[in-house]
Every structure is written in C-alpha cells, then in structure tokens.
Structure 1
C-alpha cells in the first residue's frame, strides 16, 4: 500500500515568517519529488523543512512516509514516533496525530508487530474516528486472533485431550467429553475424528444442531470419512428428518457398498417413511424396556416437565442414566426434541 504525505497547517509563533515560508517551499518540492517516486530528493527536501521549522510534525511525518515507501519499516516507526512527540509538544491538530499513529500502525503491521499495530490504530481512533482506521484495527485484531489460534495448535496435546474425551464418553459423562473434545479441536482443528467424536456427544445430549455442524465439518476435512456420514444420518434421524437420513446413508454406501450399518440404516429409513406413525408408537409400547422407562416415576415427572419447559431436558441429560433413557424413547419414536 502506498503511503501519502501530509499537507500541514499553520505554524507556531516561535518560527519566524521567513523560516516558515522556506520550510513550506521545501515541503512542496519534497511532495513533487515524492509523487514522482524520487524518494532521495523527497527525503532531502523534507529534511530541509524540518531543520527550518522543527515545530511542525507534518514535515517529520512526511519523512516517515518516505521510509515507508522505501520499505524501511523500523525507520518509519522511529520517524512516526518523532513526529508524534513533536505533535504533542506543539499541540498539533488531532487529525495529524491520528494520521501519524495510523502510519506507525501500518509499518508495525509490515514488521509483524501486531500488538504494536493494534495499539497504534486504537490511538488513531481516539484522535480521529474514521471508517478506514476502524477497518485497519479490525484487520489487525483478526490477524492477532488467527496468530493466537495458530500458536495454540499442538497435535500431541490434542491427542491427550481426545483420549480424555473418549474416557468421559465411555463413562457416560457426555458434557465432560464435549469440553475435552472442544479443547482437542482448538489444539488441532484439522483432525476430522475429533469433530466426529464431539458430534457423538452432542447426539447423546440431543443437541442435534451442534452435532450436525460437527459432522459436516468432519466430512469437509475428510470427504472419505464414512463414520462421519453414519453419525450425520443418525443426527437427521434424531431430528425426525428421515428422508435426509436416508440420503446420507446412501452417500455412505457410495463410499463403502458393504457397510452393514449404512445398509441397515438405509432400509430402516425406507421402512419408516412408509410406516404409519401410530404403528410405530404401538410397536414401541410393546418393547419391555420402553415400558420400564415410562413406568419410572422420575422419568414420568421429567417428561411432564418437558411439556411446559422443553429446554429443561438439557439439564437432565447431564445425568448419563437419564440420557440413555431419553435416547431409547427417541429411537423408539415416542419423543421428539425441538432444535434451532
């Protein structure tokens, strides 16, 4: 990005008129040379202007612009700091101060000094709020966030967190497993298996929207990952989207025509789509396990609570035993869970 030189304002009374006029003439000659990319001449003229009138920060700021064009960013930062010092001492216009801070921010950005750049653009905004400065600050904040995320990546620690998540999952602590898998993802966001594992947790917790998002991310990272397709199909079934589940099983079969789980899931969806919902309910009520769950006073109370407060289910699902019972009732087609 090409920098621009400053125009300058009125001079303080400590500089006589002749000096001021000569300084402005040198600045104008410097501007003409700068526009022609004759940076050495511009540098000489701006240096002359500074020597004639050291109280005007714009002359020093223009030296910083030359250093920026030379790609000598450390020197640019130093000249910006000098310009800001002059500006503070002689109460320069806030717009000129903001421009010097922004130039310093751009130079620091080129040097990879993102924290310094962020501070500089924040200072520019305190002096003069413009859309350009706001955009520059947002870009720096995004770069800092991205850098922090990159610095946090550690596949070895990710594997440790994944194994800890697996242990939580096996013990029925699905909420704990989600926390572990989430940390593993932050440590290694390119591992499709971790997203798939977290999707399994969200499915157990009936957070189907989150489970679906993780399945899709796992598939994006590894389009051949058949387990992610199978889990995605289960999520669609949990949402009551039988046709989508069937289509997902079909995609899994394209990857592996001999996958038993995909074949059984596809057939189940095909049968369900042609089955009367009342027949599904009757079949479920004949299941001894379903009968035991529905006859459990605690479960009946929870189901009644769901009628008035559907969101209450999330608290109950933190209990692994209750979560398993809910899963059984859902798989039997007796309950539907609302999702966003």
Structure 2
C-alpha cells in the first residue's frame, strides 16, 4: 500500500513539473490537463488547484479561475496548509474578480478576497492590489454618481421642453439621460410619451416595454404601452395592458377611463354600443373576478363626477402651490434676515462677554489689592496677637513633624521587614555613604549607563569593582523595579544571570558584579567589536541565554518570565561569557486555578516593542512564550548582525529565495551552512505570531542549540579528565591551574581564580595580573559565592565529586 502511495505521489510530481513546463511555454490547455491529473493523483496538494487557476487566468476563463481558487482555499484550511499558499489562492481569485469587475463595475468581491489574503499572509504586492481595487471602486462609484446627476439634469431639461410641447428636443434629452442612467424607468416612460406625440408608435411601444421591464410596479409604463396599443388599433392588447396596470392602482381614473374606451372600441368593432355589461363580459374573458368587475362598474359610474372634481382640485392645487411658493420665498427671506440678525447679535454678545471678563479681572485685581492693604493694616495693628498665633502654630507644626517622623520610621521598619526575607539571600546590605564613596558621589565621569528608571555607575566597593544601579526614588516605577529585581535575583542563581552583590534599601540602589565588556548590543552595533565576536562565540552565547531562560521558566515554585530580553540586557564578562540582566519588569508567574495556565496579565504592557511578543502587546498576557519570541529576534540579530527592524521578513525572504547566505554576517568567519539553516529555521519558529505555534525552549530548542554548540566549540581537554573538561563551561576553569575551580575568588584585576592558585601566585612575589600582566592595585581577594554555587550545581548534575 505504501509503495502504491509513493508511486502516486511521484506521478503527481511529474504531472506538476510537466504542467509548469507547459505553463512557462504558454501551452495553457496542456498545463490545465497536467494540473487536473495531478490534483486527482494527490488531492492533498492545493498547489495543483492554484496553478490551474493561474492558467485559467491567462486564458481569460475567470469564472473557472475563481472556482479553483475557492476550492484551494477550502481544502487548504481543512488540511491546515501553509498560510502563504492559502493567501496566494485568495490573491489569484482577486485578480480574476478584478477582471470581471472591469465589465460589471462590481469591485466588492475582489476587495473581500484581497482582504482575506492579507489576513492569511501579509504581502506588499497584495496590499498594492487592494489599494488599486479600492481606488477603482471609488472611481466607479463617483462616475455612477456623476452619471445619475447628468441623467437627472437631462431629464429635467426634457421635462421643461415637454411642457413647452417641444417633443423632439424633449426626446433628445431623454435619450441622453438613458445613456447616463439606463436603469431609470421614468426616462423610458417620458420618451415613450414624446414618441406618441411625434407619431413614432413602434418606438414608443419599445420604450414602454423597457419601462415595465425595469420596474413592473411603475403604473405610467402600463399607461404608455396601453395608449400606444390603443392608437395602433390593438384594443384587446390595450385592454389587457390596462388590466395589468389596474393591479398596480385599482383606483386610478386614467386606467378606468382607458378600460371604458377600449371596451367601447371593441364593441363598436363588433357592430354595437358599449355598455357596462359589455365591459363586464370583456373583463370576464380576461378571467377577472366578479368583485373587480363590480368595482369597475362602480368606478365608471363615479368617473365622470370624480373627473370634474379632479379638474377642480387640480386648479386649486396649482393655486395652492403658487401661493406656497410665494410664502416660501417670504419665509426664506425672513430666515435670512433672522440669521443675519442672530450673527450680529452673537458678535455683540461676544464683545460684551470679553468686556465682562476684562471687568471681572480688574475687579479681582482690585479686590486682591484691597485685601493686601487690609492684611497689612491688620498685621500692623495686631502684631502681638499674630506673633502669639505664630508661636502656637510653630508648636503645632513641631508636634505634627514629630508624628510624621514617627510614621516614617514605622513605615521604614515595615518596609525593612518586608524586604528582610529577600535581603537575607543577598551578600550584604550597603549604606548610602558607602555607595557615594564608591562612586565618588555618583560622579558623571563614572556613569556607564542611563535608562528610564535610573542610572548605572562604575565603582570600587570594598576593594572590588562593581556596577551600582541607582533607581529614581521619586518614581513609582523605579521603586517597583527595585523590589522586583531584589525579589527575583535573591531567589535564583545561575551562571548566566548577572550576580546581585547587595542593595541599599534606603536609596533604592542595587549593586551588581561589574562586567567590563558591556552589552551584546554594543558588540552588534560597533563594526570593530562585531568582528571580534566570532561565529563560535555567537553560538555559545545563544546556548547560554537559552539555558538561562530555561532555568527561569522552570523555577520552583513559581516560574519567572524576563519580559524584556534584548541584546542591551545581555552583558559580557572579560571572557565574553554572557549574563542576562535587568529584571525590573520581570514577573513571577502564579498558576491560574481556572484554566491551569501560568501567566501575568496587565493593562499596560512594558518593554521594547521590536522584541516584544505581539500577543503580549495585544492581550496584555505575559507568558514564558513571550520570552521565546524575544529569544528568536536575538538569534536573528546574532546570525545577521542587522538591526531588529524588519529582520524577520528579511530572513524569511532570503530563505524563500534559497539565498540565506546573503543576509548572514560573514565578517566573523565562515559559518557552517548546516548551522545557519538550523538556527534561522529555529529563530523563525520562535517568532511565530501565535504563541501556540512557538517551540518549547527546554525541549526541541535546547536539543538543537546544544548540538550546534557542542559541534562548534568541540576542543581537546587540557588538564583534568576529558569528561570534566569537555563538558565544563569555560568560566568554571581557573586561568592558572586550568582546572574546574573549587573555591573561586575575584582578584583586583576583575578575573576569577582558584583561591589556592592565586594565593600561590601572589606569595611567589608576583604583583601583576596573570591574565593582563598589569600591576595589581591590591592583593585582597573576594569570594565569588555565586560562581561557586553554580559550579557545585553543575558538578551535582553531572554526578561528579564536589
């Protein structure tokens, strides 16, 4: 069975290739036959339908093209095909509909198809077609409006000539109106009447028939047709037409009179005089019911009286209309006068209001001057009482100050209690004076960074180079960032998370280890530095950040989402080892009891837009998959060295063209082609718009990244066993002994060494750095407890002795 399926699939591919070859040679009928056979062999491949639709489009078989595109879209959605294929089918359908719209002037179906195509997959070409279609629709609607206005103008001119009994000129204007608006039954009715007066009865009959065809409920069409038939001697046909018109208005006197005249002519043609019974008999032959015949009889009896009354009423109406027009002109004149009067009154009122405001301002100033004068007089006369009042007020303010100081002290104690659990996990609590001394009173010359929540300074604290982050004390966001960073970094430790050395709660200041190589953003933006960041180092950094994110997302009891992952928040130490920093907007996720999911919801998403999860921006829901999206953008930047604007589309286009090497940053060496494709594909999957489509970091992503890292960084061992050295991170190795460190200490040069090795170095009379060969400022050593914890965790995970 599998062999048969493979044979059918191979046959389908051959049909597709044959169809494509015929299509390129414009043998369209042959291409259609090949695509049809391919679709039968492989119903799950919608490209056969879209290709056949393209051939139909060139053959001007637009309905067949639309049919194939609709079938392709339906099958594609059922089979969950690539959005690009579905979008291409919708765009092709829109092209066919645009061709049809050029004839039918109906662009709405094509516009809907283009909008659906953009919803499936964004394309500049499709957007341009949509704009063109909307412009064409607007132009068509505008032209129709202009044609209707022109038709109304010609019809009004024709009516004027008709009233002057200039029927030839009237018919000409009605003809022009028909050209502009061929769907208006009134124009055909009016021209039919002109043709009747001009004696062109057959042409008048055609216009009357067209009028009835356009609007079967338009009574004048039946009256015109019946009149032509009567004049042509076709009394029976005229009688039948009047009966049809009677259905539109059973009480119309003109219809009833026409029926009577037709009945009389029919009777005279048969050699007698028409009576009511004759009309009843004739109408009976036309299968009308007795009630209608009785109604006709009664109407005919009343017709004469009503006709005279109608004539009198018409004269009265004409007189009333003339009087109404006169009154309307008088009314309009009065309205115009009233409008001018109101405008004049409004201007006067505005001027009055301005004068009143000026008067009020003068009165206020005068009142202030009088009050000041009275106050001065009162102060002079009552100086003793005022002095005594000031003394009592001073005592009251002193009491209030003491109360306020007491409240502040209580709040400070509460805050200290709140942070006590968090601070105990840190190395120490620094005082404000220590930090001022370490940073030379926060000198601008030592400022190494500045952001929305505060500034970062380089300093020497307790013989150790540190980074001091001062948050803005007057900002609620700054206070929130302080508590958030202390809360998270006091709970978690990882080799690729920046180490928090301590804090000063009094001044909302954080103290971190100093990383001398700055941020990854600095290296990517500077062409000289970018070249020093080799492709092997970039792959290692990708693996390091991936491991840090996995560690955060798997944190117990509550996962941690960074929320602002970007190159500017990835710092590099002296060995270009990366560490994730800036946890000010990170969140501890609490599992929901309703839907068993972990997320953080906010109404005001914060972060860097170019790296932010689109679903976080739209819904305010922050999940671990939000970091996955940011991680994908960072990987693309490391691959290409390009800015983040539009970087995803650049890589997608290059992959679609099969020319991925054209966008890769080749200044750092020749990337292995397999690594490029794997990382680009992985990054694009991480940046899917829907978070459900993004891969899991700890599963598929880490498996691929770890394999790539091991292949890129494979090297022989040096001193310890091959098993230890091949798997141990480089920053776990002592630069002097080349062994994994047991007791790491930080020296004055900022590098970390095994305590016994660096002490032996110093005891042997060396006063320079083993790494830089520069003179050491002092011989004091600081324990690197964070790195020691990370090494012990790593050894335990690999079942190695501590």
- The structure with higher relative contact order (CA 8 Å, sep 6+) is 1
Which structure has the highest helix share of the two? 1
Place the TM-score, normalised by the shorter chain, in its bin.
0.3 to 0.5
TM-score norm. by structure 2 comes to 0.20
